Structure 1
Amino acid sequence: MARVTFREDRCKGCGLCIQVCPKQIIRENREKINAHGYFPAEVVEMDKCIGCAFCATICPDCVIKVEK
């Protein structure tokens, strides 16, 4: 199973990762605000992740890490 982690402290909440996820398992975490005032992205159903790494590839700030 793949594992996706976000460096929440650096995420700008741009939503690009949300748009490219083929499984639609990434969302904006509206319950948490990082130090820069953004809502960071998070994976809500890690068990459905296929490890495609589209999210990590499109992230302009390189805050996503995908491990298989």
Structure 2
Amino acid sequence: MAKMKGVVVVNTERCKGCNLCVVACPLHVLSLTSKVNQKGYNYVQQIVEDTCNGCSSCAIVCPDACLTVYRAKEA
């Protein structure tokens, strides 16, 4: 069975830093940054590149639909 690999793409300008996606991620690949967007919010980013399995838990709980998860089978 092929292993799935995921990548989280964040719309940083829409993210309000609510931290729900960070808590929802079972593999702890997301974290809030110390940087702020144009609205003054700290936004989330993927901090661990190769650990995400593409489960989309983060995108499901995001109230502002800021996250898109792409997944593919690892070669």
Normalising by structure 1, we get a TM-score of 0.95
> Gaps spanning 5+ residues in structure 1: where?
none
For the aligned residue pairs, the C-alpha RMSD in angstroms reads: 0.6
1:25 shift after superposition: 1.2
Q: How many residues align?
A: 67
**1:35 alignment counterpart:** 38
The structure 1 segments of at least 4 consecutive aligned residues displaced by more than 6 Å after TM superposition are none
Normalising by structure 2, we get a TM-score of 0.86
Percent of aligned positions that are identical: 36
Hey, what's the Cα distance between the residues in 2 that align with 1:48 and 1:2? Answer: 8
> Which is helix-richer, 1 or 2?
1
1:28 shift after superposition: 0.3
